[in-house]
Structure 1
Amino acid sequence: MKLYQRLHPGVNLGPTDPENHEEAEEKIFGFWIFLMSDLVLFSVLFATYAAMSIQGVALGPSPKDIFDLSPVFLETMVLLASSFTFGLAILELKYRKNQGRLALWLTLTGLLGALFVGLELNDYRILLTEHGAAPQTSGFLSAYYLLTGTHALHVSVAIIWLIVLAVQLATLGPVGPVKLRLMRLALFWHMLDIIWIGIFTFVYLYGVVL
């Protein structure tokens, strides 16, 4: 079996960039370890929310009183679409090397990510102004804002990271270090999608149904 067939299949650089392929294996593996540590953080936030959403409502509203699935479903579709466009950008980076199309997919990804954050901030505005559901109202709301806010902060950081890499692509071109940074950002972005699916299911769907 050839080297590029053994190392991280699906995201390998072997067929098109063997020079950076071995370095990619080590750095991608190290980044996976970082992602696992970040997932531990979100696991704690999910566990806190699970306890507070049942035991910490106090005299404030319950999840069923304030959650509306329509805007949250739109946010979910926007974030999933951004993950799809990022996947197309990585394919362009690895196999086609068309910088124009690469820039297009990265721009769409950034815009979709920004739209997601904007929609989530609008949700907060509605909760605060129409429902009086501030973080200090109850333990449930404190846990809700902490969980969803931490996710929104991660997406915002990823957008800034994407902008920095887009500038590096424009100035340096698709050199090895920039490729590896984009591959790591793609993993980070997809992880945020998976976490959001958990939030959509566990926080919003269960909150409305139960």
Structure 2
Amino acid sequence: MTSHAAHIKEKAANATLGFWLYLMTDIMIFASLFATFVILRDGTNGGPSGQELFNLEFVMAETFLLLVSSFTCGLAYLAIKHGQKRRTLVLLGTTITLGIGFLSLELYEFGELYLAGHDWTHSAFLSAFFTLVGTHGLHILIGIIWAIALGDYISKRGTTPDAVRKFSLFALFWHFLDLVWIFIFTVVYLLGAIS
């Protein structure tokens, strides 16, 4: 292996390690936000609780979109690993579209709560809710932007080993957000609706 190839391989390994370290910090951030929510979920300040606010059918639609986007992301990763550029781009585009759909529903939910007078300043519960769910939504937005940039990269450069590596990091991030949403759905919405 030439020194240039070794340098590129080392740079890729360092980038992957750096991404894993970033993901660990994200895990700590979300763990802190979940802990805060659990502690503050009864602090309604005389206002409505999750049981009164949450529409589980609506949240199930959000969940469906995000879970399907995770599936299409996984299929896109398989496609790029097999050098299928067109299939990769179609599946990545589908993932982006589903992510935008999810984010649109989340923003709609926030807007409905705000218009009903239930904003983040109303109670500790709502503050923790908006912070946790909003932080996840911000991460989804970042993921959508990343996916668009990745799609542009793949369309111009093809399914190179570097593109596969970059896609693997994106897929890891997207699946992580899916996992976080499963926890949000369970801890915030399901438990909130029944307690």
Q: 2:9 and 2:192 mapped to 1: Cα distance?
A: 45
How has the CA–CA distance of structure 1 residues 23 and 91 changed in structure 2, closer, same or farther, with 3 Å as cutoff?
A: farther
Q: Does 1:154 align with 2:142?
A: no
Conserved? CA contact 2:76–2:92, under 8 Å? yes
Output the aligned Cα RMSD: 1.7
Alignment partner, residue 106 of structure 2: 120
TM-score normalised by structure 2 residue count: 0.91
SS of corresponding position for 2:44: coil
Is residue 108 of structure 1 aligned with residue 94 of structure 2? yes
Task: Please state if 1:73 is matched with 2:73.
Answer: no
1:84 aligns with 2:71: yes
For 2:13 and 2:159, the matched residues in 1 are separated by: 18
Verify the 8 A CA contact 2:37 2:132 in the aligned structure 1: yes
Q: TM-score, normalised by structure 1?
A: 0.85
Number of residues of Structure 1 aligned to a counterpart in Structure 2: 188
Structure 1: runs of 5+ lacking an equivalent:
1-19
* Corresponding residue for residue 5 of structure 2: none
* Partner Cα distance (1:21, 1:91) in 2: 22
CA shift, 1:138, in A, is 0.6
Distance in 2, matches of 1:113 and 1:103, equals 15
1:174 to 147, 151, 159: 159
Shifted more, 135-144 versus 58-67: the winner is 58-67
2:189 counterpart residue number: 204
Dislocated runs of 4+, deviation >3 Å: 20-30
User: Could you report, residue by residue, the CA deviation over 1:175-194 in whole angstroms, capped at 9, with x for unpaired residues?
Assistant: 23222111101000000000
**3-state SS of 2:41 partner:** helix
TM-superposed CA distance for 1:137, in Å, is 0.5
Is 2:84–2:159's contact at 8 Å kept on the other side of the alignment?
A: no
Whichever residue aligns with residue 112 of structure 1, its letter is L
Structure 2: where are the runs of 5+ without partners?
A: 1-7
